[in-house]
């Protein structure tokens, strides 16, 4: 069983993504923002995947990705970004700073399952 950290401030998206991850047989840990996710990663860096929203209070997803990638121990961590309100140039920028994949919101179950499988294979 893999541990997947989900950084998302919207309760509906939290439930949707964590339910799918758990149905796939993984352990989902939900954080309400990037700061909380960063603290969880530092406290226990045994997560196999990060799924993060971009627009969150406190620390946003972009800052979270930059902060993680600055640490050697998180260089290889797969990161899936999910967001509703960004365009191609923003997606390219996120991939440029270290996101592994981008997933548009509303999240489609099949797309999420595919990224989780790819990240954990």
CA distance 61 to 44: 19
Q: What is the CB-side half-sphere exposure of residue 66 using CA atoms within 13 A?
A: 8
Residue range 26-83, pLDDT digits in tens: 999 999 999 999 999 999 869 999 999 999 999 999 999 999 999 999 999 999 999 9
pTM above 0.85, yes or no: yes
CA distance 115 to 89: 21
Cβ–Cβ < 8 Å for 8, 30: yes
Q: Is the peptide bond before 106 cis (omega within 30 degrees of 0)?
A: yes
CA distance 50 to 25: 16
């Amino acid at each position: 069983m893999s541990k997947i950290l989900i950084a998302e401030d919207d309760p509906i998206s939290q439930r949707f993504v964590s339910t799918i991850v758990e149905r796939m047989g993984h352990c989902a840990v939900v954080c309400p923002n990037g700061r909380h996710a960063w603290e969880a990663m530092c406290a226990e860096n045994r997560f196999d995947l990060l799924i993060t929203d971009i627009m969150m209070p406190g620390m946003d997803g972009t800052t979270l990705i930059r902060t993680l990638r600055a640490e050697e121990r998180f260089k290889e961590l797969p990161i899936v970004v999910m967001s509703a309100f960004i365009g191609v140039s923003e997606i390219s920028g996120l991939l440029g700073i270290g996101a592994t994949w981008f997933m548009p919101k509303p999240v489609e179950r099949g797309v999420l399952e595919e990224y989780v499988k790819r990240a954990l294979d």
